[in-house]
Chain A
Amino acid sequence: MELLIALAIGALIGSGVWLLLRPRSFQLIIGLSLLSYAVNLFIFAMGRLAVDAAPVVKAASEAAHYTDPVPQALVLTAIVIGFATTALFLVVLLANRGLAGTDHVDGREPPP
């Protein structure tokens, strides 16, 4: 399973980085979203992969049977903050597109 998740993260990172280096701001926003999936998965995987071990405890004594809740808590906040930054970025993108008249990331079209 580890191999699969690693490859999945790799695919997301690769697509995200490719988009990050593109010139149009919409490409950037998609790229950042893909990157945030990858990073969230990566952080989550740092707690190791475990099936049927959700950190919902039945009694306090048997702590060993559950997966690590800390990365999950981190990623949960990351997802929500990720949404906020995507929204902010989108609006900045739109405002900049209005002001600069182009959706190029530099705010101007490159010289031909």
Chain B
Amino acid sequence: MAPELLLIVLAALPFAGSVVAALLPANARNAEAWLAGAVAVAGVVVAIILYPALADGAVLHFKVAWMPIKGADFNLRLDGFAWLFSLLITGIGALVVLYARYYLSAADPMPRFFSFLLAFMGSMLGLVLSGNLIQLVFFWELTSLFSFLLIGYWHHNAAARDGARLSLTVTALGGLALLGGVVLLGRITGSYDLDVVLAAGETIRAHPWYLPVLGLVLLGAFTKSAQFPFHFWLPQAMAAPTPVSAYLHSATMVKAGVFLLARLWPVLAGTDAWFWLVGGTGLVTLLFAGWCAIFQQDLKGLLAYSTISNLGLITLLLGLNSPLAAVAAVFHIINHATFKASLFMAAGIIDHEAGTRDIRRLSGLYRLMPYTATLAMVACAAMAGVPLLNGFISKEMFFTEAILATTPLPLLGELLPYAATLAGMFAVAYSLRFIHGAFFGPPPLDLPHMPQEPPRWMRFPVELLVLVCLLVGILPTLTLGSMLQTAVRAILGADTPIYSLSVWHGFNLAVLMSAMALVGGVVMYRLLHGYLAHSPDGPPVLRRIAGQRVFERILVTLSWRWARTLRGLLGTHRLQPQLRALVVVAVLVAALPLLRHWRAAWPGFAGWPDPVLAGVWLIGAACAIGAAWQAKYHRLAALILMGGAGLATCLTFVWFSAPDLALTQLLVEIVTTVLMLLGLRWLPKRFERIDETTTLPARLRRAADFALAAGAGIGVAMLAYLTMTRPAPQSIARYFLEHALPQGGGHNVVNVILVDFRGFDTLGEISVLAVVAITVYALLRRFRPAQESIGAPEQQRVQNAWEHAHPDRQDGDSVAEQLLVPGVLMRWIFPPMLTIAVYLFMRGHDLPGGGFVAGLVVAIALIVQYMAAGTRRVEAQLRVHPLRWMAIGLLLALLTGVGAWLAGYPFLTSHLFMPQVPGLGRLPLASALFFDLGVFALVVGATTLILIALAHQSLRSQRPARTGNPATEA
């Protein structure tokens, strides 16, 4: 298989496995483990196959353009460094899967665990294989997300939930900062491609944005790698199942941060700012976390702090601005991953077997599980930096670098070796504490259950990792030399220094420091031993300042206290102040530039209007103002007046060459009026004399609203006048006018735009109409009117009473008699209206008309029948199925669009054909006609559905709403 294809397999396989794992049954523990293990081992195999392709610094690429304009491509890129990480992720992943098979109990839901684990593995691989920075951030956030899900795997446990949430909050916030940094990087270099960015180191370091970029990228890296002061999430994340901790906090999640630092090392490193920020943070973290680790009483807590400390060490090495230190950092990344993963697993075994991880309770386990104890001791020795183990070599390299480091401040250079030795002492002390606390001393007394050796295959991953620690410690060049060289060259390129990996470099200062660290660490542990046997968790003094408590307090203050204060100051539950603020802002924003440029913009007087239209608008404006005045107490009058304003609008459309608009406006006006009339019945009665508010604040408020309304009206009028008196800009109108006939086959350009050129918009619009109609229908199905509106309206009551008084009459006779002549006419008008609808529809492509208008006419024709004969009588004769009309309409419109696909054109392309019709000759027929037919059917369905649903409310026996006004009930 071609290397590029293997690259896709490597990146995609875990995600595919994750989907499969999620679908397996809940108790398929072995099947899940086999699947996940197979995926991880396949990853290892693919990685090994790909290794020869990376010889001599070659880089493998697989690129698919996704959004080329924005520079966002799907880009897989494998170089030596990414390869090293891929091997760690898949290799340790495979061991963790095996371990988890025995660690998890049969009661734990398996699909969730293995599915998340595989997805996490995929995200990590995607992260290290990213050749595009945006893609890198995407996978970065995915790792945050899946680690959240993994840490919170035992979600019945409050500590797991809190730990998961904390880690997500911190790392995802860092990811956001990283995204900012990456976008800036892309702005500086003009590309998000990693190769381009890596080649632009000089430009970036000299750019004025260097510091912001550095700050943002470091925020991302430090939060991920749990560097001080963002370290506090990692100990909390120890509530995760131990396999998760072993995976996330040794080889993967937390290593993503240092991976990024090393990845961008050639671009961002080499400045004083880098030294202070990266080196300083690393040093502080190294010492602080090392000190904290000694005082942990939980085995996993100790490992968590030692992980933070080791990450600090790697960060410090990367911060020293020296290629040799970078080599040491990469080397330590591997070593730490191996010994820490094995130690987490050993801690898990102890927890699993003994039922507790508390060092104060554990003791003398060596007698009960000698084999596991030996393995853990070797791994701890590697962590402490005992010779002949891999930790020793990387620590030697660190000590050498600490001595050689050139720092911007000479004094610091002097102090660095001492700090390094101190950190070494801490490491020895906490390693000793792990071993001595758990395995030595008197036999344990109060353990939840008696420990014994774990199953064979649960121990196997630990054995393998410890074997690696030993082999690398004894034969570093033979085992890791080539891989390290490839990885380091991928970062440093031509600057790769010459270094030698060997156990013994002769007797030099670094060896002396090592010896001092070992002795000092032992002494330190002896001194603290008595105190630690009974002390509470955490180092003295510092245990009171828990980082996560500070963080939580800040979060509470920000997102709760301040938010509430702000809401109290600025917010309101009331609609009117909100709308008022909205209008005020809108008016101001529009008015300020208008007033400033008023003199230049004023076009002069544009001539007197036509007196007829002026008369129309005299009435129209009076209607609008009258509606505004009457809407509170005289709803019917307001409705009629609103219709007047609508008619004036409609006439304006006629006057100024918009016949289609006029037709639509007129018909919609009718439908809206009917709709509102149907609704009026359910509104409360309101009498002018009762609730007249005449208090001073009410008057003032009304005066202010009046001024605001007047201001808005005058402002928009000015705006409209200024725009209209200006010559029209060159618009796209010309295109439509020129192409409507030859391409759309229609004379009526508006209709051609709607059903042909912009058919997709119309499709969206009729979908909205359908959604609204169904929503209205759904809302009305459960409609509960207010108590006072349930009884028949007063007019009906009076009429019914009169009818009851006369034995020969029935309810509703009076109405039927009154409407006798109009009723007959209305029934007779049904066929002509349908004919008009057909006529309007057919001519729509060439003359004013079309699907919308025709649909409205049919809907009105139906409503007229309802009004003439009453709902029951109409529905006895004629069943309208609005939902079917809508379905047919939507389907027809969609199928017309799909038809274009079949002919090989884009969706909704109209086709013009000229069929021969007997008796009529050749007819020009556009396929858009069928689309328009769909529009027609949908408009008929939606309109009638809304109106009939509302009308039916008067026939139903209504129940009052259960919940009244809480304010009045209280």
- A19 B631 Cβ-Cβ under 8 A: yes
Closest to A63 in B: B737
Nearest opposing residue in chain A for B753, CB measure: A73
B732 within 8 A of A: yes
Chain B binding surface, main DSSP class = helix
Per-residue 0/1 for A85-112: is the Cβ within 8 Å of any B Cβ (1 yes, 0 no)? 1111011111101111111011111000
How many chain A residues have a CB neighbour from B under 8 Å?
92
Chain A at the B interface: mostly helix, strand, loop or mixed?
Answer: helix
Q: How far is the CA of A55 from the CA of B574 in the complex (A)?
A: 46
Neighbour of B676 across the interface among A13, A20, A29, A53, CB < 8 A: A29
With A10-B716, A63-B734, A94-B783 as known contacts, state yes or no: A109 contacts B741, CB within 8 Å.
no
In the docked arrangement, what's the CA distance between A77 and B759, Å? 12
Q: Does B69 interact with chain A (Cβ within 8 Å)?
A: no
Q: Is B710 located at the chain interface by the 8 A CB criterion?
A: yes
Please tell me if the beta carbons of A30 and B852 are within 8 angstroms of each other in the complex: no
Q: Does B435 contact A (CB under 8 A)?
A: no
Complex Cα distance, B576 from A99, in Å, reads: 20
Is the C-beta of B239 less than 8 angstroms from some C-beta in chain A? no
Nearest neighbor of A41 in chain B, beta-carbon distance: B649
Binds A, one of B278-286, B345-353, B608-616: B608-616
Q: Is B905 an interface position by the 8 A CB rule?
A: no
**Chain B residues with CB under 8 A of A53:** 657
Docked complex: B718-732 residues within 8 A CB-CB of A = 718, 720-721, 723-725, 728, 731-732
Contact call B610/A1, Cβ cutoff below 8 A: yes
CB distance from B838 to the nearest CB of A (A): 20
**How many residues of chain B have a CB within 8 Å of chain A?**
122
CB within 8 Å for A55 and B716 given contacts A20-B583, A27-B631, A84-B769: no
Tell whether B314 is near chain A: CB-to-CB under 8 Å. Answer: no
Residues of B within 8 A of A60 (CB): 737-742
- Give min CB distance, B910 to chain A, whole Å: 15
A86 — which chain B residues lie within 8 A by C-beta? Answer: 672, 675-676
Contact A2–B724 (Cβ < 8 Å): yes
| B576 and A105 contacting across the interface, CB-CB below 8 Å | yes
Q: Which of A7, A55, A88, A105 is B617 in contact with, Cβ under 8 Å?
A: A7
Complexed CA–CA distance, A106 and B772 (Å):
23
Question: Is B754 interfacial (CB 8 A cutoff)?
Answer: yes
Q: List A contacts of B739 (CB < 8 A).
A: 60
Is A42 a contact partner of B664 (Cβ separation < 8 A)? no
CB of A42, distance to nearest CB on chain B (Å):
6
A19: B residues at CB distance < 8 A = 627-628, 631
> What string of 1s and 0s marks CB contacts (under 8 Å) between B513-540 and chain A?
0000000000000000000000000000
Closest-CB distance, A92 to chain B (whole angstroms): 7
In the complex, B190 has a CB within 8 A of chain A: no
Contact in complex: A6, B721 (CB < 8 Å): yes
Least CB distance, B573 to chain A, in whole angstroms: 7
Alpha-carbon distance A108/B682, docked complex (angstroms): 17
Q: How far is the CB of A79 from chain B (nearest CB, A)?
A: 5
Binary flags per residue of B632-656, CB closer than 8 Å to A gives 1, else 0: 1001001100100110110011011
Would you list which residues of chain B between 925 and 970 have a CB under 8 Å from chain A? 939, 942-943, 946, 950, 960-961, 963-968
Q: Which residue of B lies closest to A58 (CB)?
A: B747
Give A87's nearest chain B residue, CB to CB: B946
Of chain A, the residue at the smallest CB distance from B752 is A69
Complex interface bits, B658-686 against A, C-beta within 8 A gives 1, otherwise 0: 11110011001001100110010011101
Interface status of B138 (Cβ within 8 A of chain A): no
Q: Which residues of B contact A34 (CB under 8 A)?
A: 624, 627-628, 642, 645
Closest 6 CB pairs of A and B: A14-B713, A10-B717, A4-B609, A18-B709, A6-B721, A11-B621
Sampled A-B contacts (23; CB under 8 Å)? A6-B721, A8-B648, A12-B624, A15-B625, A17-B583, A17-B708, A26-B638, A50-B657, A53-B657, A55-B748, A66-B749, A69-B736, A69-B740, A76-B754, A77-B754, A79-B668, A84-B942, A87-B772, A88-B772, A90-B676, A91-B679, A94-B682, A95-B780
Further contacts, 7 of them, CB under 8 A, given A8-B652, A34-B645, A76-B664 = A5-B720, A12-B649, A12-B713, A51-B657, A54-B658, A72-B750, A91-B775
Which residues from chain A sit less than 8 Å from chain B, CB to CB?
Answer: 1-24, 26-27, 29-31, 33-34, 37-38, 40-42, 44-60, 63, 66-70, 72-73, 75-77, 79-88, 90-95, 97-103, 105-109
